[in-house]
Amino acid sequence: MTRQFIGEEEGDIVIHKKECLLIADFAILFKRDKGSKKDLQGKHQIVACGEMKYIYYHLDPRSEFYNIPLSVAHAHIIELSGLPDNWKTDKVFEKACDKYKEFQQLSSLGSAYFSADSALYELGHDTKDLLDIIRNLKAELKVAVQVASRKNKEYTSDELELVTKILSKLDTVNKVQSNVIALINSMPKLTNTIKDLKEQYSQEDNENNTVVGDRQLGNRED
């Protein structure tokens, strides 16, 4: 449902202006573009087109930067989009991003794909958090081992309490490790599901890539 606004042709990102102007949240990007250094009169609306390209690179699963954190991808996307180095997002642009996401969710395949993709992303974060817990627990256990293995076998009450408390967490370590293994084992199946959904969603998006009169969008529509 998004190829009608932004497409790929021979490796280039193509903005379909006529279609974008039909959607208020996209149209405002073009209406407010009164010109820039490379487009003094605003005739080519370079900034508006760049902002639409930014949306594509950031949010579209066809993009090589999809799902890459903006802290890593932002500078690359700015360059590829042809936006000024000092360009910054604002509420108008964020509304356009939200509208793009809405169009992605219009089909059941799109909704299923993005939900599954989000679930995999969360699984990755959950696994990282659990691994951090394991590292902290192991660090505590190491302290307990150091105390228990001292040549001087006389322990203070505080040391005994510490060792007892830490050793009681062994069961927790085992449980957390089991959860990590279960999460990791579930990832390949979910990854394959996402891959299949992405292919089906892309095919559906291609089939819906039409304008009035069932004409296929091309360069002449831009």
Which residue ranges make up each domain of the chain?
Answer: 6-106, 110-202
Comparing CA positions, the residue from 166, 179, 171, 168 lying closest to residue 130 is 179
Q: What DSSP assignment string belongs to 98-114? A: HHHHHHHTSSHHHHHHH
Taking only the tens place, the pLDDT of each residue in 55-106 is: 999 988 888 898 788 899 999 999 999 998 889 999 999 999 999 988 887 7
Taking only the tens place, the pLDDT of each residue in 141-168 is: 777 777 666 666 666 777 667 767 776 7
pLDDT (mean) for 172-189: 83
Report the percent of the chain where pLDDT is more than 70. 82
- Report the DSSP beta bridge partners of residue 7: 14
Best mean pLDDT range from 5-9, 38-42, 178-182: 178-182
